[in-house]
């Protein structure tokens, strides 16, 4: 029995793709060094040898990860991402109280260009001259006053673009870094939670074979 493989949380499976629910603290793909080889993709390939990564989640982020079954499906799904046919939605807790200026809680946008902070990798930064266009949509979560309401604001986030650490940097840039963030939150804000309070809980895409819309969910663990 392979405990790591048995522990995989399978959300969806067919001959074209699989969707797994990644726990916080697990790499999506191998890192550098022998101590960083255990990851979601390696565990998946034990069970599905043709499984190939299509996109990633940060190690500290939990939630839905899409993998392709074979090179042809990887190309098709990567093209769907490139053409923005794949949509993801996250739940996060931003430090402090954030009010939506729209009384109907409509989507708001954060439009700030981002680039890798090469002197402080793996961090990214807002850079208005050299950054790449980066757009995030946000609104208050329906259960904003529930769990963690005493330390922050529960949010729904939709990344329109897919830059490195985009959601984390954008929330920091507007003064509400994600609670528990080891890179972008203050020491006090990091200490408010045992993990980064960011979860990829909703994924929708056209199936690469049938064209039917797939809509997949993962309950938020915090």
Q: Quick: pLDDT tens for 55-107.
A: 999 999 999 999 999 999 999 999 999 999 999 999 999 999 999 999 999 99
Taking the C-alpha atoms of residue 169 and residue 204, their distance in angstroms, rounded to an integer, is 24
- Is 58 noted as a catalytic residue in this protein? yes
Whether the predicted pLDDT of 43 surpasses 70: yes
pLDDT tens string 157-210: 999 999 999 999 999 999 999 999 999 999 999 999 999 999 999 999 999 999
| Catalytic site residue from 21, 58, 144, 181 | 58
Q: In the structure, what pLDDT confidence band is assigned to residue 118 with cuts at 50, 70 and 90?
A: very high
Partners of 204 in the β-ladder = 87, 215
Domain 3-217 fold: Pseudouridine synthase (3.30.2350)
Residue with tokens 């929330």: 171
Domain boundaries, the chain: 3-217
| pLDDT (average), residues 121-148 | 90
pTM: 0.93
């Amino acid at each position: 029995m392979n405990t790591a493989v048995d522990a995989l949380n399978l959300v969806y499976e067919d001959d074209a793709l699989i969707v797994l629910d990644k726990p916080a603290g697990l790499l999506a793909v191998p890192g550098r060094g022998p101590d960083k080889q255990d990851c979601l993709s390696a565990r998946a390939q034990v069970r599905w040898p043709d499984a190939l990564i299509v996109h990633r989640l940060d190690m500290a982020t939990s939630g839905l990860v899409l993998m392709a079954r074979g090179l042809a499906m990887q190309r098709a799904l990567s093209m769907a991402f490139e053409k923005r046919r794949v949509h993801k939605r996250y739940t996060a807790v931003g430090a402090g109280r954030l009010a939506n200026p729209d009384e109907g809680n409509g989507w708001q946008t954060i439009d700030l260009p981002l680039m890798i902070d090469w002197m402080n990798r793996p961090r990214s930064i807002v850079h208005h001259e050299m950054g790449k266009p980066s757009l995030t949509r946000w609104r208050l979560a329906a259960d904003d006053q529930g769990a963690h309401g005493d330390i922050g604001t529960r949010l729904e986030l939709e990344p329109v673009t897919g830059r490195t650490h985009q959601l984390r940097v954008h929330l920091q840039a507007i003064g509400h870094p994600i609670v528990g963030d080891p890179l972008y939150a203050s020491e006090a804000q990091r200490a408010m939670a045992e993990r980064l309070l960011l979860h990829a809980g909703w994924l929708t895409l056209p199936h690469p074979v049938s064209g039917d819309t797939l809509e997949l969910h993962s309950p938020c663990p915090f």
